[in-house]
Chain A
Amino acid sequence: MEAAREIYWNVGHGVILPMYFFAAGAAAVCLYGFARRIRVYGLGGPLDRSSNPFLRLRLAAAWAFAQVKVLRAAFPGIFHAAFFWFFLLLFAGTLLIVAQVDFTLPLFGFSFLKGAFYKGYSLTLDLAGLGAIAALLVFFARRFIARPEGLETSWDDYLVHGLLLLILITGFWIEGARMAATEMKGDVALARFSPVGMAAAGFLASWQEGALLSSHKVLWWSHLLLALGLIALIPFTRLRHLFLVPANYFFASLEPKGALKTLNLSDENAQSFGAGKVKDLTWKDIFDSDACVSCKRCQDECPAYATGKPLSPMQVVHKLKDCAFSGPETDIVAAVTDAALWACTTCGACQETCPAGVEHVGKIIEMRRNMTLMKGEFAGAEGRSAASSLEVNKNPFGLPYAERADWAAGLDVRILAEHAEADIIYFAGCYASFDRRNRIVAQKFIEICNHSGIRVGILGKEEKCCGEPVRKLGNEYLYQELAAENIRALNGYKVSRIVTACPHCRHTLGLHYRDLGLNAEVVHHSVFVNDLLKSGRLKTRAERFDFTYHDSCYLSRYSGTVEEPREVLKAAGGVLAEMRKNKTESFCCGGGGGRVLLEEKEGRKICAERIKMAQATGMPLVVSNCPFCLTMLEDGIKTSNCEEKLQARDLAEIVAERLA
Chain B
Amino acid sequence: MKILVCVKQVPDMASKFKPNAANVWFDETDLAFRMNEYDEYAVEEAIRLKEQLDSGSADLVVLSIGPSRVVEAVKKALAMGCDRGVHIRDDESYLKDPWQIASLVAAYAKGEHFDIVFTGMQSLDRGSAQVGPTLAEALGYSCVTTVIGFSLEGGVITAKRELEGGAKGVIRLKLPAVITCQLGLNTPRYPTLPNIMKARKKEIAVFEVAELGVENPRTVTERFFAPVKKGCGLVLEGEAAALAGKVVEILKQSTIVLRGQP
Proximity bits, A535-551, B CB within 8 Å = 1, else 0? 00000000000000000
Candidate in B32, B193, B196, B197 with the most chain A CB atoms within 10 angstroms: B193
Per the bound structure, the CA–CA distance linking A410 and B32 in Å amounts to 25
Task: Select from chain B the residue with minimum beta-carbon distance to A401.
Answer: B32
Q: State the interface size on chain A (CB cutoff 8 A).
A: 28
A residues 443-481 with Cβ under 8 Å of B?
461, 476-477
A375 and B192 contact, Cβ closer than 8 Å, known pairs A393-B14, A400-B12: yes
Indicate if the CB atoms of A392 and B33 lie closer than 8 Å: yes
Q: Does A92 contact B (CB under 8 A)?
A: no
C-alpha gap A374/B192 in the complex (Å): 5
Q: Is the CB of A376 within 8 A of B192?
A: yes
B193-A402 in contact (CB<8A): no
User: Which residues of the partner chain A approach B32 to less than 8 Å between Cβ atoms?
Assistant: 392-394, 400-402
Q: Mark A349-386, 1 if CB is under 8 A from B, else 0.
A: 00000000000000000000000011111100000100
B30 beta carbon closer than 8 Å to chain A: yes
Cα of A273 to Cα of B33 in the assembled complex, Å: 28
Bound-state Cα–Cα, A391 to B194, Å: 18
Is residue B189 within 8 Å, beta carbon to beta carbon, of the partner chain? yes
Closest to A274 in B: B193
Distance (whole angstroms) from the CB of B13 to the closest CB of chain A: 10
On whether the beta carbons of A400 and B194 are closer than 8 Å, the reply is: no
Q: B229 within 8 Å of A by Cβ? A: no
Is A15 interfacial (CB 8 A cutoff)? Answer: no
Complex: A373 Cα to B194 Cα, angstroms: 8
Asked if B12 and A393 make an inter-chain contact with CB atoms under 8 angstroms apart, the answer reads yes
Question: Given A398-B14, A400-B15, is A378 in contact with B190 using a C-beta cutoff of 8 Å?
Answer: yes
Interface: B34 (CB within 8 A):
yes
B66 CB within 8 Å of chain A: no
CB-CB contacts below 8 Å: A316-371 with B: none
* A373 nearest in chain B by CB position: B193
Q: Is residue A88 within 8 Å, beta carbon to beta carbon, of the partner chain?
A: no
Instruction: Please classify how large the interface on chain B is, using the bins under 10, 10 to 19, 20 to 34, 35 or more.
Output: 10 to 19
Provide the residues of chain A in CB contact with B194, threshold 8 Å: 271-273, 373-374
B227-242: CB near A (< 8 Å → 1, else 0) gives 0000000000000000
CB distance A461 to B30 under 8 Å?
yes
Which chain A residues border B190 with CB–CB below 8 Å?
Answer: 376-378, 384, 387
Which of A272, A391, A392 has most B Cβ within 10 Å? Answer: A392
A265 at the interface (CB under 8 A from B): yes
What does the 1/0 interface line of A620-644 toward B look like (CB < 8 Å)? 0000000000000000000000000
Task: Report the Cα distance A461→B32, complex, angstroms.
Answer: 12
User: Which parts of B160-216 form the interface with A (CB within 8 Å)?
Assistant: 189-194, 196-197
A636 to chain B, nearest CB (A): 20
A400 with B192: CB separation less than 8 A: no
A177 to chain B, nearest CB (A): 70
| B218 at the binding interface (Cβ < 8 Å) | no
Instruction: For the complex formed, measure the closest distance between the CB of A271 and the CB atoms of chain B, giving whole angstroms.
Output: 7
Q: A66 at interface (Cβ–Cβ under 8 A)?
A: no
Q: Across the two chains, which residue of chain A brings its CB closest to B40?
A: A388
A-B contact number at CB 8 A: 55
Residues of B within 8 A of A375 (CB): 192
A476-B192 Cα distance, complex, nearest whole Å: 11
Shortest C-beta distance, A289 to chain B (Å), equals 26
Name the residue on A nearest B29 (C-beta).
A402
Does B223 interact with chain A (Cβ within 8 Å)? no
**B34 — which chain A residues lie within 8 A by C-beta?**
388, 391-392
Cβ of B16 under 8 Å from chain A: yes
Q: Give the distance to chain A from B15, nearest Cβ to Cβ, in Å.
A: 5
CA distance A476 to B197 in the complex (A): 13
Does A149 have its Cβ within 8 Å of any Cβ on chain B? no
Residues of A within 8 Å of B189, CB to CB, are 376
Partner among A377, A403, A477 whose Cβ is within 8 Å of the Cβ of B193: A477
Nearest chain B CB to A375 CB, angstrom units: 6
Q: Are A402 and B15 in contact (CB under 8 A)?
A: yes
CB pair A400–B193 under 8 Å, yes or no, is no
- Residue A399 at the B interface, CB < 8 A? yes
- Structural contact, A373 and B33, CB atoms closer than 8 A: no
Q: How far is the CB of B107 from chain A (nearest CB, A)?
A: 31
Please give, as numbers and ranges, the residues of chain A lying within 8 Å of B196 by CB-CB distance.
477
Q: Residue-by-residue, is B100-116 near A (CB-CB < 8 Å gives 1, otherwise 0)? A: 00000000000000000
Which residues of A are found within 8 Å of B16, using beta-carbon distances? 400, 402-403
Q: Which residue of B lies closest to A461 (CB)?
A: B30
Q: Shortest distance in angstroms between A367's beta carbon and chain B's nearest beta carbon?
A: 15
Whole-angstrom distance between the Cβ of A418 and the nearest chain B Cβ? 15
Does the CB pair B192–A373 fall under 8 Å?
Answer: yes
Known: A375-B192, A376-B189, A376-B191. A400 touches B197 (CB 8 A): no
Residues of A400-418 whose CB lies within 8 A of B: 400-403
A6: Cβ under 8 A from any B Cβ: no
**Counting CB contacts under 8 A, is A268 at the interface?**
yes
A residues within 8 A CB of B31?
A: 400, 402
Q: How far is the CA of A207 from the CA of B186 in the complex (A)?
A: 88
For A477, the chain B residues whose CB sits under 8 A away are 193, 196
Question: With A374-B193, A384-B190, A387-B190 in contact, is A392–B30 under 8 Å at CB?
Answer: no
Task: Tell me the nearest residue of chain A to B201, going by C-beta.
Answer: A268
Q: Which residue of A lies closest to B192 (CB)?
A: A376
CB distance from B17 to the nearest CB of A (A): 10
Interface residues in B9-24 (C-beta closer than 8 Å to A): 12, 14-16
Contacting residue for B197 out of A265, A378, A394, A402, CB 8 A: A265
Q: Which residue of A lies closest to B33 (CB)?
A: A392
Tell me the complex Cα distance, A418–B236, Å: 36
Chain B nearest CB: distance from A404 CB in Å?
A: 10
Residues of chain A within 8 A of B14, CB atoms compared: 393, 398-400
Residues of B within 8 A of A476 (CB): 193
Q: How far is the CB of A140 from chain B (nearest CB, A)?
A: 51
Give the shortest distance, in Å, between B187 (CB) and chain A (any CB): 9
Min distance, Cβ A458 to any Cβ of chain B, angstroms: 16
What residues of A have a CB within 8 angstroms of the CB of B197 in the complex?
Answer: 265, 268, 270
- Which residues of chain A have C-beta atoms less than 8 A from B193's C-beta? 265, 273, 373-374, 476-477
Chain A neighbourhood of B191, CB < 8 A: 376
Chain B residues whose C-beta falls within 8 Å of the C-beta of A265 in the assembled complex: 193, 197
Contacts of A393 in B (CB 8 A): 12, 14, 32
Q: Are A392 and B12 in contact, CB atoms less than 8 angstroms apart? A: yes
A461, chain B: closest CB distance, angstroms: 7
Closest to A397 in B: B14
Complex contacts, A388 vs chain B, CB 8 Å:
34
CB distance from A377 to the nearest CB of B (A): 8
Give the nearest-CB partner of A384 in chain B: B190
Give Cα A15 to B190, complex, Å: 72
Interfacial chain B residues near A268, Cβ < 8 Å: 197
Closest beta carbon of chain A to B71's beta carbon, Å: 15
Chain B residues, Cβ within 8 Å of A403 = 16
Chain B positions within 8 Å of A387 at CB level: 190
Chain B residue at minimal CB-CB distance from A375: B192
Assembled-state Cα–Cα distance A400/B191 (Å): 23
Give the complex CA separation of A399 and B30 in angstroms.
12
In the bound assembly, the distance between CA atoms of A367 and B58 in angstroms comes to 33
| In the bound complex, CA of A461 to CA of B31 (Å) | 11
- A interface residues (Cβ-Cβ under 8 A, vs B): 265, 268, 270-273, 373-378, 384, 387-388, 391-394, 398-403, 461, 476-477
A-B contact pairs, 25 of them (CB 8 A): A265-B193, A270-B197, A271-B194, A273-B193, A273-B194, A373-B192, A374-B192, A374-B194, A376-B190, A376-B192, A377-B190, A378-B190, A387-B190, A391-B34, A392-B34, A393-B32, A400-B14, A400-B15, A400-B16, A400-B31, A400-B32, A402-B30, A402-B32, A477-B193, A477-B196
Known: A271-B194, A373-B192. 17 other contacts (CB 8 A): A273-B194, A373-B193, A374-B192, A374-B193, A376-B189, A376-B192, A377-B190, A384-B190, A388-B34, A391-B34, A392-B12, A392-B32, A400-B32, A401-B30, A401-B32, A476-B193, A477-B196
Nearest 10 CB-CB pairings of A with B: A402-B30, A376-B190, A373-B193, A392-B34, A400-B15, A393-B32, A376-B192, A392-B32, A392-B12, A273-B193
